[in-house]
Amino acid sequence: MSDELKGFRGRHPIKAIAIVIIIVAIQISLPAEVTPGPAWVIILVELSGIPIVYVSRTLGIVSTPRFRYIMDVYFFLLICSGAANAVLLLGAALDDSGSSGLSLLYAGFGVLTINVLSFGLIYWWIDGGGPVVRLKKQVTQWDFQFPQQLAQGSVWEPTILDYLYVAYTNILAFSPTDAMPLTHRVKLLFTVQSAISVLTVVITVGHAINVLSS
């Protein structure tokens, strides 16, 4: 096994697991009004990402269609959970008898943070066929084009932190600012992430103004 693949087993899944743990921690701390369904169901779904990502350390498993299907389902549920958070945040904001302004303000920032972490994780997993394919230099089609990759003779490879930054800039600018999306699936994911972000930002900013003016 090459040093790069050993590095993948030692570093990248650990970072991904840490991201999943942070997502779960934020979800637990959100007000009940913005948590879809029974809270324990959503938390259990999100926690399932820990063993799934850990298993990805076994390189042979990562490349199997069954494992990739499991990852796709997990990320789909993660997106649905984040979207539901945003919709419920809107409902809570329209309900005068619900949570306080400060509580909803915190919820808004929490939902935005979950958005960044979730989509950053997704972008890291899908780009070029996945992190293992990228490290093995077997990419046939990149999903993102980073500026560092345009330099002649560049051997630079994006890390999970680069994908988190892409997700972060997408919720602020609602358009690519660092890496350009190249494939239809990433453009669709950008659109979904931006839609969730717009809804969340409008509600959060509106409540921030109300809290500051009261």
Cα–Cα nearest to 78, from 56, 52, 55: 52
DSSP 8-state secondary structure symbol assigned to residue 144: E
Cα–Cα nearest to 48, from 20, 27, 25: 20
Band of pLDDT at residue 213, cut at 50, 70 and 90: low
Average of pLDDT values for 171-191? Answer: 83
pLDDT tens column, 139-150: 888 899 888 877
Q: Could you tell me the pTM of the whole model?
A: 0.86
For residues 74 and 152, which has the higher predicted lDDT (pLDDT)? 74
Q: Is 80 in contact with 61 (CB distance < 8 Å)? A: no
Band of pLDDT at residue 41, cut at 50, 70 and 90: confident
Q: Is 49 in contact with 115 (CB distance < 8 Å)? A: no
Q: Is 5 in contact with 135 (CB distance < 8 Å)? A: yes
pLDDT tens column, 47-73: 888 887 777 655 555 667 788 888 889
Cα(131)–Cα(56) distance, integer angstroms: 10
Cα(103)–Cα(211) distance, integer angstroms: 10
Instruction: Give the domain ranges of the chain.
Output: 3-213
Residue 186 confidence (pLDDT): 93
Band of pLDDT at residue 25, cut at 50, 70 and 90: very high
Average of pLDDT values for 206-213? Answer: 67
Mean pLDDT estimate for the chain: 81
| Alpha helix segments (H runs only) across 95-214 | 101-126, 131-135, 160-173, 184-213
Cα(53)–Cα(42) distance, integer angstroms: 18
Tokens of 19: 């991201």
Cα(211)–Cα(214) distance, integer angstroms: 5
Residue 10 confidence (pLDDT): 43
